[in-house]
Amino acid sequence: MSAAPELRFNVPDMDCGHCVHAITQAIHRVDPAAEVRADLAAKQVSVSGAAAQSTYAAAIEAAGFSAAPG
């Protein structure tokens, strides 16, 4: 079984721990097993999971943040 690809998103309006928590929760609602890593300094979120990139982007946007593949 191969590892899930890591998808990266630029999230320019992510600027605090609360933002990271909200984004992580939103992603886990669509894929509870996803691994989520956030880099506040780079304003980037990395996700490894089974869902499509568009699904994760929609989850980030539903949490109130803009998300562009990065």
Q: Please report, for the chain, the start and end positions of each structural domain, with discontinuous segments joined by +.
A: 15-69
One CATH from 3.30.1490.20, 3.30.70.100, 3.30.1330.20, 3.30.930.10 for 15-69: 3.30.70.100
pTM over 0.85: yes
- What's the rounded mean pLDDT across residues 15-24? 97
The confidence score (pLDDT) of residue 61 equals 98
- What's the rounded mean pLDDT across residues 13-42? 97
- Residue 16 pLDDT exceeds 80: yes
On average, the pLDDT of the chain sits at 95
- Residue 1 pLDDT exceeds 60: no
**Residue closest to 10 by CA, chosen among 46, 49, 55:** 46
| Residues paired with residue 69 on neighbouring β-strands, in sequence order | 9
Q: Is residue 67 a contact partner of residue 10, using CB atoms and an 8 Å limit?
A: yes
| Residues paired with residue 45 on neighbouring β-strands, in sequence order | 9, 38
Element (H, E) at 19: helix 17-30
